[in-house]
Amino acid sequence: MSKKILFFFPENPFSNRAGNVTRAKTTLAILKKLGHSIDLVGVKHIYKDMQDTNDFDEKIIDNLFFISPRPPKKKTTIEYWKYKILKAYKKPSSSNQSLTDFTKKEFRDIFNKKKYDVLIINYEFWAGLLDPNSMKNCLKIVDTHDWITLNEFYKNKSLDVGRRFNEEINNLSKFDKIVTISNEEFFVFKSFLGDRVVNIPPSFPKNFVDENREKQYDLIFTGSDNPFNIEGIQWFLKNVLPLLSETIKICIVGRVCKHVPDYRNITKIIFAEDLSSYYTQSRIAICPMIKGTGIKIKVVEALSYKLPVVGTERAVDGFSSKLDNGCLVNNDPEIFKDYIIALLQDRAYYETMRNRAEDYFKNNFSENRTLKLWNDIIN
């Protein structure tokens, strides 16, 4: 049965900029394949800050709406002065400065125009958008993406972890269903919130290609310019790259390129509308992440192309199995280098790892599996 879904994601999920937007886009595609009608809500100033366009796929989304943390600066309007007075007495959430009373009102107004059957909020720190009165009869789902407390702790070691985690659990408790993408995070949240927590790993269409074709690149790394990607690629450049021959050709795609110096054997592509041409032209994906939480979308996407992955231990965060998954992981630069060399020089070993990548992807990240999991939640 088709449902009316209101899907909140602060950025443009069709921007193809980073793993989080890729995940939101694939979730939207899954929901559309299940036959539902979907309206999308974004945050106006976040679109502007991210330099996102208002473009969206009309085959997936019916309407795009925006909310803002404050009204237009027209001092003659009642709405403007009402907001100014409330702001003087009530501070926005310390975890989300964009979550103001005006934001909540705009979101509530959008919801009340259609009275949606299902409301999906991405990220727990937007839980304040829920209105217990007007939204009480709809199915309320939060897609966590990450364990936010741990993510924030990596960025700020002075964080009051107890206070922030209590806030996170309290926010999640407001929803009927809590979606995780990582096995570790599923275990943590389920321990506090019970059967409302459902693990739905990210999915991609199967993109397996013929390995006999000639490859342009030996290694590929994709990433936005978030702090974890920057730290990871700089660790690789400092500790692993000097151990590799300059004949090894490397492709780096995404805004993380802004933080990569020029090298003779590294090709930098700051933006790619479609990553498939770069994945199919590469032999191995690397994920040298030092910090970060949750499943690395770039790793799952690489596996969808049947590419072996060489990474640090963070590369397989959230995986149900740390072995036999198409990934070789170690935090020692020498061993990291050895894995790359072994895959490039030993054809039989390379094929073994490719087959493991294919099997693990089919069993854990297939689109059909994700379709069933989302269908079970919504229906």
Question: pLDDT (tens digit, 9 = 90+) per residue, 256-303?
Answer: 999 999 999 999 999 887 888 899 999 999 999 998 777 888 999 999
Q: Domain with 329 in it: what CATH number?
A: 3.40.50.2000
Residue 310 half-sphere exposure toward CB, CA atoms < 13 A: 22
**CB 205, CB 301: distance < 8 Å:** no
Q: Identify whether residues 179 and 241 lie together within a single domain.
A: no
Q: First CA to last CA across the chain, in angstroms?
A: 8
Q: Identify whether residues 70 and 188 lie together within a single domain.
A: yes
pLDDT at 208 over 80: no
Q: Identify whether residues 233 and 334 lie together within a single domain.
A: yes
Q: Identify whether residues 182 and 236 lie together within a single domain.
A: no
Predicted confidence band of residue 96 (pLDDT cuts 50, 70, 90): confident
Is 320 contained in some domain? yes
Question: How does the average pLDDT of the chain come out, rounded?
Answer: 88
Per-residue model confidence (pLDDT) at position 202: 85
Q: Identify whether residues 261 and 226 lie together within a single domain.
A: yes
Over range 94-101, report the average pLDDT: 80
Helix-strand-coil split of the chain, %, nearest 5: 45, 15, 40
Burial class (CB in 10 A: 0-12, 13-18, 19+), 258: exposed
The dihedral over CA atoms of 294, 300, 302, 304, expressed in degrees to the nearest 10, equals -170
Over range 11-35, report the average pLDDT: 88
Per-residue model confidence (pLDDT) at position 252: 96
pLDDT at 137 over 70: yes
Per-residue model confidence (pLDDT) at position 142: 97
Burial class (CB in 10 A: 0-12, 13-18, 19+), 262: exposed
**Long-range contacts from 76-80, C-beta under 8 angstroms, 24+ separation:** none
Predicted confidence band of residue 88 (pLDDT cuts 50, 70, 90): very low
Q: Identify whether residues 183 and 293 lie together within a single domain.
A: no
**CB 12, CB 54: distance < 8 Å:** yes
**Rounded to the nearest 5 degrees, what angle is found at the Cα of 15, between the Cα atoms of 10 and 19?**
80
Per-residue model confidence (pLDDT) at position 91: 52
Per-residue model confidence (pLDDT) at position 81: 46
Is 211 contained in some domain? no
Please tell me what DSSP assigns to residue 93. Answer: B
Q: Identify whether residues 194 and 291 lie together within a single domain.
A: no
Question: How many structural domains compose the chain?
Answer: 2
Is 212 contained in some domain? no
Per-residue model confidence (pLDDT) at position 351: 94
Tokens of 150: 């741990």
Is 209 contained in some domain? no
**CB 324, CB 355: distance < 8 Å:** no
- Segments forming the whole domain that contains residue 314: 217-364
Q: Identify whether residues 94 and 193 lie together within a single domain.
A: yes
Predicted confidence band of residue 182 (pLDDT cuts 50, 70, 90): confident
Give residues with Cβ within 8 angstroms of 106, minimum separation 6: 67, 68
Distance of CA 334 to the CA centre of its chain: 30
Over range 324-332, report the average pLDDT: 94
Q: Identify whether residues 113 and 28 lie together within a single domain.
A: yes
Per-residue model confidence (pLDDT) at position 77: 54
Q: Identify whether residues 52 and 106 lie together within a single domain.
A: yes
Is 80 contained in some domain? yes
Q: Identify whether residues 94 and 140 lie together within a single domain.
A: yes
Is 51 contained in some domain? yes
Q: Identify whether residues 150 and 187 lie together within a single domain.
A: yes
